[in-house]
Amino acid sequence: MGDKPEAWQAAPGDMPPDEFRTHGHRLVEWIADYMQHGERYPVLSRANPGQIRASLPSGPPHSPESLDRVLGDLDEVILPGITHWNQPGFLAYFAITGSAPGVLGEMLASALNVNAMLWRASPAATELEEVVLDWLRQLVGLPDSFDGVIYDTASIGSLIAIAAAREAVGLDIRRRGMAGRGDLPRLRLYCSEHAHSSIEKDAITLGFGTEGVRKVVVDGDQRMDATALRQDVEEDIRSGWRPFCVVATVGTTSATSIDPLPEIADVCRDHRIWLHVDAVYGGLAAILPEMRWVLDGAERADSIIFNPHKWLFTPLDCNAFYSRRLDVVRDAFSLVPPAYLQTPEGDEVKDFMNYGPQLGRRFRGLKLWFVLRTYGAEGLRARLRDHIRLARMFAEWVAGDPDWEVMAPVPFSTVCFRARPGEVPASQLDALNLAIEQRVNASGKIFISHTVLGETVALRVAIGHIRTGERHLRSAWDELTRALSSSRPVPTRTSSPAGAAQHTRD
């Protein structure tokens, strides 16, 4: 130990705190301005493929650059390539929100930068996660037999549920795997054709293959047909398959339909199948007493997921996973920890790393805590209630106009609809609606998306941004009706006034 510390050159260290202060304050102002005036940007980016890449250097800078330059490029280079998910005109996919308190929570999480892998790695990260999960459980009205874990995305939440279902089958797959075993049946998962695409991806990832997923037919309202599910399951059992998991959805992505949980739970009970409920969007509506019914039957599920990052004003990413059988989840994933992850606390605490594949875990409970506290149950309910109100208002506008029609029930905050002017033949309606979508999105004022129901294109307006209000819906409706006018075939001289007015609906 003869070395003198002075002999060693000093470390360069981090940006000086005062510089962080200067730029941090500047960025707070930038974000406040973005929240207040971000509607000046076109919602859907107008960038062409490759345009942003072309405005960036092809290699990293050799020397440090000032944050001034970086923040300058933010405005000039990055923003033109941003599609503004965090603005109220965003009505596509499922609209989401990085709310003001959520942004502050996320900022703090990155400054603390804890990895919530083990309890000891930050007791507050683990315990706050437990607490906010329990708060959310109470808000949506699940029984306290459900315990939770926060994951990044619904894709992973469902992957973990399906892996737990595999574990619950009791075929020793965790140890022996699935390939090359003569003693295993083929394993099958069931969901409707409207289940989220991540379910099929999860099945592929977990080694069941696309053939391991059977898509159950839906009824006229896009809800899984539970009778068909029972028939599919029983037919598969006769053919030697082992049904091991059903994924039901509360609020499907296309039409926000609600699969009939009680009837599906009956099938799962009768055949000892793990029931996983994907309630990432629609299930959050259950924080409203008048919407609690959307989770009827969910208390019988083995696992259920919600995305606070979807319709609870929490910045990406935050998936709340609950299970009545968290021990099975743990069995599916926990290892005898390597020495470097063994801690003296042992079973006295919950080490979340044991409940999934990911060792690295951000402190996601923090932003959810900021959101739940600053809005309160009452504030969250008011906002969701308002979104549902706006959707019904929009649907009424659509239904009240003879040139348009609503394409699916509107239980939540999403409306599926299309233009169907009488003079346009049925075979051209898909093209017409896609043209309307493109024209509306080019306006820059709103951004909507589309889906296909049955074999018919439907436009979708999804309300989920915290600042979306009536004027945005009004603007959307104006753009849509204007786009229809411009897209309509010009009436020919030979068409009689009576003919033009005649709207045959089928």
CB 113 → its own copies: shortest distance, Å? 3
> Are the C-beta atoms of residues 208 and 159 closer than 8 Å to each other?
no
- The span of 129-137, 227-235, 271-279, 495-503 binding its own copies (CB under 8 A) equals 129-137
Dist CA 283 CA 452 (whole Å): 23
Task: Establish if 306 lies at the interface with its own copies (CB under 8 A).
Answer: no
Dist CA 194 CA 497 (whole Å): 42
Binding mask 130-149 for its own copies (x = CB under 8 A): xx--xxx-xx----------
- The span of 94-102, 228-236, 256-264, 293-301 binding its own copies (CB under 8 A) equals 94-102
Residues 187-206 touching its own copies, rule: CB under 8 A, are 187, 196-198, 200-206
Residue closer to its own copies, measured from CB, 95 or 265: 95
Task: Establish if 65 lies at the interface with its own copies (CB under 8 A).
Answer: yes
DSSP 160-228: HHHHHHHHHTTS-HHHH-STT-TTPPEEEEEEETTS-HHHHHHHHHTT--GGGEEEEPB-TTS-B-HHH
Q: Judging by DSSP bridges, how do beta strands 449-453 and 414-419 pair with one another?
A: unpaired
Residue closer to its own copies, measured from CB, 276 or 367: 367
Angle ∠(490,492,496) on CA atoms, nearest 5: 120
CB 198 → its own copies: shortest distance, Å? 5
Residues 438-477 touching its own copies, rule: CB under 8 A, are 438, 449-452, 457, 460, 466-471, 474, 477
DSSP 11-39: P--SPPHHHHHHHHHHHHHHHHHHHHHGG
Strand partners, 249: 278
| Chosen residue from 50, 170, 220, 425 binding its own copies by CB under 8 A | 50
- The span of 174-182, 261-269, 294-302, 483-491 binding its own copies (CB under 8 A) equals 174-182
Task: Establish if 274 lies at the interface with its own copies (CB under 8 A).
Answer: no
| Chosen residue from 263, 317, 351, 479 binding its own copies by CB under 8 A | 317
Read off the tokens for 410.
């509107």
Residue closer to its own copies, measured from CB, 22 or 227: 22
CB 43 → its own copies: shortest distance, Å? 11
Task: Establish if 289 lies at the interface with its own copies (CB under 8 A).
Answer: no
Read off the tokens for 281.
């969007």
CB 274 → its own copies: shortest distance, Å? 15
Phi and psi, residue 281, nearest 5°: -95, -65
Q: What's the first-to-final CA gap in the chain, in angstroms?
A: 91
Token pair 């009970």 in the structure block, residue:
269
Residues 346-375 touching its own copies, rule: CB under 8 A, are 348-349, 357-360, 362, 366-367, 369-370, 372-375
Nearest to 415, CA basis, from 474, 460, 476: 460
Q: What is the DSSP letter of 447?
A: B
Residues 105-124 touching its own copies, rule: CB under 8 A, are 106-108, 110-115, 119-124
- The span of 185-193, 225-233, 297-305, 496-504 binding its own copies (CB under 8 A) equals 185-193
**Amino acid (1-letter code) at residue 322:** Y
Read off the tokens for 134.
């329990």
Largest CA distance in the chain: 104
Task: Establish if 323 lies at the interface with its own copies (CB under 8 A).
Answer: no
Task: Establish if 168 lies at the interface with its own copies (CB under 8 A).
Answer: no
| Chosen residue from 33, 75, 221, 270 binding its own copies by CB under 8 A | 33
Residues 393-412 touching its own copies, rule: CB under 8 A, are 393, 396-397, 400-401
Residues 212-251 touching its own copies, rule: CB under 8 A, are 212, 240-242
| Chosen residue from 72, 143, 262, 376 binding its own copies by CB under 8 A | 376
DSSP 227-271: HHHHHHHHHHHHTTEEEEEEEEEBS-TTT--B--HHHHHHHHHHH
Residue closer to its own copies, measured from CB, 37 or 269: 37
Residues 411-430 touching its own copies, rule: CB under 8 A, are none
| Chosen residue from 145, 293, 345, 491 binding its own copies by CB under 8 A | 345
Question: Which bin fits 376, alpha (ψ -120 to 50), beta or left (φ > 0)?
Answer: left
Task: Establish if 75 lies at the interface with its own copies (CB under 8 A).
Answer: no
Residue closer to its own copies, measured from CB, 9 or 486: 9
Residue closer to its own copies, measured from CB, 266 or 386: 386
Taking only Cα atoms into account, the Rg of the chain, rounded to an integer number of angstroms, comes to 26
